[in-house]
Structure 1
């Protein structure tokens, strides 16, 4: 997950869902008047921040900050996207916040990040603390996703269990939850968010070919698989997808054209401080 070039090329599902969610919910975002500051939590390589999020941010934005736990991602984002009003910094939303960031942002966004975090209350409380009074957050993250079932299956195999001992750490806390929107709303309300709205969306994504699927898997894989075993891991990953009927075996050809259909749940949460 630290290969910024690879992530930049293959984070296609994140880009698509960020764009669709912002287009759908844009009119419900209540932008503050006057100069505003915005933070994108888990900004990765910076491409969603700059190519998607920034396009809907009003012209009165004085400062846009992207943050990510990965130093490699932050370096890539600063090298490619930083300017006088936009910068990227290293920040772990699951750890203590620097005091200088508390109450410093009028709007907080996050795409495909909170599903990686096990200490949900810490993360949501930190998001609340990042906001100024009256500030608003807009968060998009995974609930149920077949990818997590693949991780669990491979972690039980003799070949891969050594490198996947901590598999549950990388599975969304809402993967097995039947009504995640209720759980998230209750958590946000207990922390102090107001005007809380949480929805669980049914989504589908179809990978057009084997290269796109493999690239995405490699770009987001959180386990320290030895590089010389990368291809073997991907082959076993694809075999599990075939067993789960996510890859249509009848449509798989030697030229790499496949039909890999992922049906998943996406959680969209909005709240004010």
Structure 2
């Protein structure tokens, strides 16, 4: 997940959901008056921050900061998108916060990042601590997702288990949860968030062909698979998706591309400090 060029090209599902969620829920955000500072947590290559989120931020934004745990992603984002009002920095939202960032942001956003955080209490508490008084967060992340099931299946195979021993680190803490929205809301309120609203959305995304899906699988792969085994890994990945009936079996029409239909659950959470 450190190849920024590959990620930028293939993170179509996160871009799609970031845009749709902001279009649907953006009017619920209470923007502060006066000059504001905005944070995008888990910004990746910076393209969602600058091409999607920025469209919804009012003109009174004095500073937009994207942060990510990946140094290579942040380097790419600064090289391609930084300007006088927009910058990017390395930050682990599951780690210790620098004191100078505490209480420094009026609004915090995150798209497709919080499901990678295993210690959810630390992650949410850090978001709370980054916000100024009255500041708001708007978070979009996965609960259930077919790729998590594939990770688990492959990790049990003799062929791949050596490189996937830490598989549970890369599966959403809510993947096995029946009512994840209740769990997230309870956690946020226990930390001190007010005006908490959490929804779990049932979503469907269709990859138009297997080349597009391959790019997505490769760009977000969190495991250190050896280079000479990457093609084998994708083949086995696709075979599991076929077993799960995510990938269509070959069509009788040879001119029709084989598609992949992902049914998944997405958490949309909002809260105020």
Pairwise TM-score range, normalised by the shorter structure: over 0.9
Unaligned ranges ≥5, structure 2: none
- In 2, the alpha carbon distance for the partners of 1:117 and 1:256 equals 39
Residues 210, 258 of structure 1: 8 Å contact kept: yes
- In 1, the alpha carbon distance for the partners of 2:18 and 2:147 equals 19
Aligned to 2:212: 212
Deviation at 1:256, TM superposition (A): 8.7
Residues 252, 259 of structure 1: 8 Å contact kept: no
Aligned to 2:15: 15
List structure 1 runs of 4+ shifted beyond 4 angstroms.
Answer: 252-256
Aligned to 2:69: 69
Unaligned ranges ≥5, structure 1: none
Aligned to 2:59: 59
More deviation, 249-258/195-204: 249-258
After superposition, give the CA deviation of every residue in 1:226-260 in whole Å (9 maximum; x if it has no partner): 01111000000000011111111033887792110
Deviation at 1:56, TM superposition (A): 0.4
- In 1, the alpha carbon distance for the partners of 2:47 and 2:35 equals 24
Aligned to 1:203: 203
After superposition, give the CA deviation of every residue in 1:152-190 in whole Å (9 maximum; x if it has no partner): 000011100000000011000000000000000000000
Does 2:178 align with 1:184?
no
TM-score, length-scaled by structure 2:
0.98
Aligned to 1:103: 103
Aligned to 1:47: 47
- In 1, the alpha carbon distance for the partners of 2:81 and 2:171 equals 30
- In 2, the alpha carbon distance for the partners of 1:256 and 1:118 equals 40
- In 2, the alpha carbon distance for the partners of 1:169 and 1:73 equals 20
Residues 209, 256 of structure 1: 8 Å contact kept: no
TM-score, length-scaled by structure 1:
0.98
Q: How large is the RMSD of aligned CA atoms in angstroms?
A: 1.2
After superposition, give the CA deviation of every residue in 1:176-208 in whole Å (9 maximum; x if it has no partner): 000000000000000000000000000000001
Aligned to 1:251: 251
SS in 1 for 2:269: strand
Residues 211, 256 of structure 1: 8 Å contact kept: no
- In 2, the alpha carbon distance for the partners of 1:100 and 1:242 equals 49
**Number of residue pairs matched?**
273
Residues 252, 258 of structure 1: 8 Å contact kept: no
- In 2, the alpha carbon distance for the partners of 1:253 and 1:79 equals 45
SS in 2 for 1:196: strand
- In 2, the alpha carbon distance for the partners of 1:230 and 1:16 equals 27
More deviation, 255-264/158-167: 255-264
Deviation at 1:83, TM superposition (A): 0.2
SS in 2 for 1:157: coil
